[in-house]
């Protein structure tokens, strides 16, 4: 079965599209924290110390990105509260998209989401209203998103190979 990697984007896209420019980064920060929690849950279930560590590092990068965005907006908490009130399903959005998919397909889907997140951070960084410090911080977020995508791609390949009963890189 081939998983449609765009399902995640299809789920969050309509919400993102209706948000104002000030709320979009906070929505992204919310998604970063949500995905970080997801990666920590996966790490708990990993028997491989390397996979566990990779997932925890990925979760940490998500938290770093969320903290970067939140620190730039003094209204972050109020914006997030309004987002949750307007979209009560936000807390279950990610799990509902991933539900029923094998773990390696979940990882592939979220690797694609990480690459999309990198594009958003690039767009945020290219906003001319940001000064050089903000631009640099947002470009660091972009780089962390790319790191996360690569880590998830590697883990997805390993998990898929284990399910098929072969050793990765054979």
Domain edges within the chain = 7-164
Whether pLDDT at 94 is above 60: yes
Q: What percent of the chain has pLDDT over 70?
A: 93
Per-residue pLDDT tens digits for 124-139: 999 999 899 999 999 9
Q: In the structure encoding, which two tokens stand for residue 152, read together? A: 């998830």
Report pLDDT for 165: 52
Report pLDDT for 168: 43
Q: Do residues 148 and 70 make contact, with C-beta atoms less than 8 angstroms apart?
A: no
């Amino acid at each position: 079965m081939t998983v449609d990697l765009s399902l995640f984007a299809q789920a969050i896209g309509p919400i993102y599209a209706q948000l104002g420019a000030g709320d979009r980064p906070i929505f992204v920060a919310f998604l970063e924290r949500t995905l970080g929690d997801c990666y920590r849950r996966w790490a708990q279930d990993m028997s491989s110390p390397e996979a566990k560590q990779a997932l925890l590092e990925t979760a940490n990068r998500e938290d770093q990105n969320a903290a970067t965005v939140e620190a730039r907006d003094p209204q972050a908490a109020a914006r997030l509260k309004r987002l949750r009130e307007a979209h009560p399903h936000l807390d279950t959005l990610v799990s509902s998209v991933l539900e029923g998919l094998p773990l390696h397909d979940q990882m592939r889907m979220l690797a694609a989401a990480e690459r999309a997140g990198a594009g958003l951070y690039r767009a945020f960084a290219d906003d001319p209203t940001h000064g050089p410090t903000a631009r640099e911080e947002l470009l660091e977020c972009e780089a962390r998103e790319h790191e996360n995508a690569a880590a998830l791609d590697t883990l997805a390949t390993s998990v898929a190979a284990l399910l098929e009963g072969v050793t990765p890189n054979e």
